[in-house]
Amino acid sequence: MKTLPAGMTEHLASGATTLCWCWRLVRRDGSVLGFTDHDRALSFDGTMFEAQAGFTASEIKESIGLNVDNLDVQGAVTSERLSEADLAAGLYDDAQVEIYRMNWQAPEQRVLMRSGSLGEVRRSGGGFTAEVRGLAHYLQQPKGRLFQYHCDADLGDGRCGVPLESEEVKGEGIVSETLSAHQFTATGLDSFINGWFDRGRLVFETGVNAGRAFEIKRHQIVSGIATLSTWHATIVSSMAGDAFSVWAGCDKSFSTCRDKFANATAFRGFPHMPGNAFVSTFQNKA
């Protein structure tokens, strides 16, 4: 049941309403964006809701129980704050969403219709369709530890203990040449062997991508030149001279923990757990 603010009940009962939809998004990098289907910009709670952003939403459905209630938001990449590069870089992945129904003549008369997060985002031409998932979808995600061969800690966290600021783990480099939105060559990483930063983390310190973090897909050294490839495209293709920090990658296997980081005593997996081969070869000697 929704509790309507003072005055909104009378407005709805008047028979002639001035209602609109407002969407507030909080991205992974902390940026807050607002959009509305009204023809003029609106503002409340410190957020400016941009008008004529091309947003439309499917019907909102709510069900009893713990079922996940989803809806789709469709729009065009026309807003100056909503760019193709941001979508491609994953800044909207799991962004927090609030959807309001509001009287645009009296913004204090509004009600929060749905809270959730962005799920799958599909792009086609100059438009996109984003799935808004209800909060119940977090209850469907696995929690707790699993008995598995691989480690379930993150490199450098409290359970792992590897010092991330050590010279063996962290490197600092400069972009020398941009090959694509996913790949560039760099200097300053001469002391690291080929593949050392595979599955690692990269954070730009300067340039248009300053403060952005990316997961490294591959670290290659060819003819003495280091090349880094990222899974997600950078916001704007990295420019020569941009500085970055990069951390070694871990595939979470026991051999990597032991040989690469000398951290076998803190390994958080079960590498010696017997598998199906052991079970199938067991013979009853009774």
DSSP-based three-state secondary structure for 214:
strand
Number of domains in the chain: 2
Q: DSSP E strands: which ranges in 106-263? A: 110-124, 127-134, 170-180, 183-187, 201-204, 213-222, 225-230, 243-247
pLDDT value of residue 53:
58
Report if residue 259 sits inside a domain: no
**Cβ-Cβ contacts under 8 Å for 124 (sequence gap 6 or more):** none
pLDDT value of residue 280:
73
Q: Length of the chain in residues, anyone?
A: 286
Report if residue 265 sits inside a domain: no
Q: What is the pLDDT of residues 116-160, one digit of tens each?
A: 887 767 666 666 677 777 766 667 677 778 888 999 999 999 999
Report if residue 153 sits inside a domain: no
pLDDT value of residue 37:
84
Task: Please tell me which residue, 188 or 28, carries the higher pLDDT value.
Answer: 188
Q: Which of 59-63, 99-103, 109-113 has the lowest mean pLDDT?
A: 59-63
Report if residue 117 sits inside a domain: yes
> Per the structure block, which two tokens stand in for 129?
């369709």
- Percentage of the chain with pLDDT > 90? 39
pLDDT value of residue 202:
95
Q: pLDDT grade, residue 1 (50/70/90)? A: low
Tell me, yes or no, whether 99 and 185 share the same domain: no
Task: Please tell me which residue, 9 or 87, carries the higher pLDDT value.
Answer: 9
Tell me, yes or no, whether 127 and 16 share the same domain: yes
Q: What is the pLDDT of residues 42-76, one digit of tens each?
A: 999 899 998 865 556 555 555 544 454 556 665 55
Domain boundary among 140, 159, 194: 140
Q: What angle do CA 9, 10, 13 make, to 5 degrees?
A: 90
Residue ranges making up the domain that contains 209 = 170-247
Q: What is the pLDDT of residues 249-284, one digit of tens each?
A: 999 999 999 999 999 999 999 998 887 777 676 655
**Mean local confidence (pLDDT), 173-196:** 93
Tell me, yes or no, whether 115 and 210 share the same domain: no
Tell me, yes or no, whether 112 and 40 share the same domain: yes
Report if residue 253 sits inside a domain: no
pLDDT value of residue 66:
47
Q: pLDDT grade, residue 235 (50/70/90)? A: low
pLDDT value of residue 68:
47
Tell me, yes or no, whether 15 and 136 share the same domain: yes
Tell me, yes or no, whether 180 and 123 share the same domain: no
Q: Over 70: is that where the pLDDT of 81 sits? A: no
Report if residue 149 sits inside a domain: no
> Per the structure block, which two tokens stand in for 102?
């509001």
Report if residue 83 sits inside a domain: yes
Residue type, 39: D
Tell me, yes or no, whether 186 and 79 share the same domain: no
Tell me, yes or no, whether 125 and 227 share the same domain: no
Q: Over 90: is that where the pLDDT of 172 sits? A: yes
Report if residue 272 sits inside a domain: no
CATH classification of the domain holding 188: 2.40.10
CATH classification of the domain holding 77: 2.30.110
Tell me, yes or no, whether 63 and 178 share the same domain: no
Tell me, yes or no, whether 115 and 207 share the same domain: no
Complete edge-to-edge strand list for the sheet that includes strand 47-50: 42-44, 47-50, 32-36, 19-26, 96-103, 110-124, 127-134, 70-76, 56-57
Domain boundary among 213, 231, 247: 247
Tell me, yes or no, whether 116 and 226 share the same domain: no
Q: What is the pLDDT of residues 13-42, one digit of tens each?
A: 888 899 998 888 888 778 898 888 888 999
Tell me, yes or no, whether 179 and 104 share the same domain: no
